[in-house]
Structures are given as structure tokens and as C-alpha cells.
Amino acid sequence: MRAELTAEIKAIARRQIAEDGPANINLRAIARELGMVSSAIYRYFASRDELLTALLVDAYNDLGEITERADAAVAEVDPTDVEGRFVAVATAAYAWARAEPNQYLLLFGTPVPGYSAPTDTVAPATRFTSVLLRILDEAGRLGARPVVVPAVPPGVPDDLQRVRDLTATAASDELMLAGMQVWTALFGAISFILNGQFRNVIGDVDAMFAEFARMLARQVFPHESDARR
């Protein structure tokens, strides 16, 4: 019964986010909708921030699970198909964002004023990043080099080494930096589409994103013909 009521509270909070944004989650309004006295809801979530954290964890885990499955489906057939794995992961992330735009924008939209995410969100938040790192690791093992090899700024190698130490990733600094740029571009494209930046400019944004995903993949995981240019 507690699990069911917790799920109802979250569902109402997600609806509030869709209507008024995450900064305006209102526990008292949720209690009224559920027919509870205001004080009763605090037995489930002690504050708005605690409820917001639970919603963030759920959203990160949803995105992580979907992209993990997408990568696994390709990797089980051919783990060396790093381009195909990246495209599958990018496509899965995009499909989830289109189906759950408020969930996506909760993660990657405007930060909530006064809210600081606790450590509870770290592990769920890194699930998607870990998928990308596994693909980069395999690409590095295969000897892949980005089409445009980045100049790694001073100081950044130490940061990248910490990531390698934490994730057991063996990709080179150049490959990891290129992967980060592609990761940024991927979510930038999704955010632009969800926020209507291409409205009245591009009609079929889904087809455009599909090509974006292939272009981004080939920047980091080039075909042999790309690498010879």
C-alpha cells in the first residue's frame, strides 16, 4: 500500500512538473488531490527536494536502463560494431526523450533554483555515461581515432585519468575528449528538438536526428574510408 501511494505521489508530481515546472512541485497540493491531510504526505517525502530527488533518480534510471538495453542488443551480435552501438544508444535516448519530454527536461533542462542534488543521484546519473564509456573503451581497443583529433588542453589529462581509474576505461585522452564532445552534441540536439528550436525550419525532426546520430558516430568511430581522408 505504501508503494502504491508513493507511486501516486510521484505521478501527481510529474503532472505538476508538466504544468508548472519542477520548481513548483507542491506537496500540500498533492496531499489535497489524494484526500490526505497535509501532514500525512511528509511521512512519504520529508520535503519538496526529497520528492524531486526521487523523481530524478527514477528518470536517470529509466534513461540508463533503456540505453543499456539498446547497447546490449547490438553488442550481443557484434561488440566491435561501435558505430552501430552508438547509433542504437543515441536513438534510444532520443525516443525516450520524445516519449517523456518532461522527464528528459527534468534531467537536462533549467536547474531548479535552490536545489542541490544529493549523492543519491550519482549512480543513476552515470548509467548512461557508463554505456558511452564502454563503447569508447571497445573503440580504443580496436585502435579507433576520431576524424578530428582534439588537442587535449593542459590539466584535462589528469581529469580524464581519474575517469579511467573509476571506470576501468582504457580509451586514449583524444578518444575520450571526442566522446565527451559527441555526448554534449547528442543532448544538445535532443534539447533543441524538444524545446522547438527547429519549429518552422525543419519539418521531419525525427529523420534529422537520425542523421545527426550517424554523423556524430562517425566523428568518433570513423569508417576506414573516413580514417584515410
35: domain CATH number is 1.10.10
Q: Could you tell me which residues come within 8 angstroms of residue 1 by beta carbon, excluding any fewer than 6 positions away? A: none
The arithmetic mean of pLDDT across residues 141-147, rounded, is 89
Same domain, 109 and 220: yes
Q: How many domains does the chain have?
A: 2
Q: What is the DSSP string of 97-114?
A: HHH-HHHHHHHHSSPPTT
Global confidence as pTM: 0.90
Same domain, 70 and 3: no
Same domain, 107 and 152: yes
Residue 224 pLDDT > 80, yes or no? Answer: no
Same domain, 111 and 216: yes
23, 51 Cβ separation under 8 angstroms: no
Same domain, 100 and 72: yes
pLDDT tens figures, 157-203 = 999 999 888 888 888 999 999 999 999 999 999 999 999 999 889 98
Per cent of the chain over pLDDT 70 is: 97
Same domain, 202 and 220: yes
Domain carrying residue 179: 55-227
pLDDT tens figures, 11-65 = 999 999 998 888 889 999 999 999 988 888 999 999 999 999 999 999 999 999 9
117, 56 Cβ separation under 8 angstroms: yes
pLDDT tens figures, 61-91 = 999 999 999 999 999 999 999 999 999 999 9
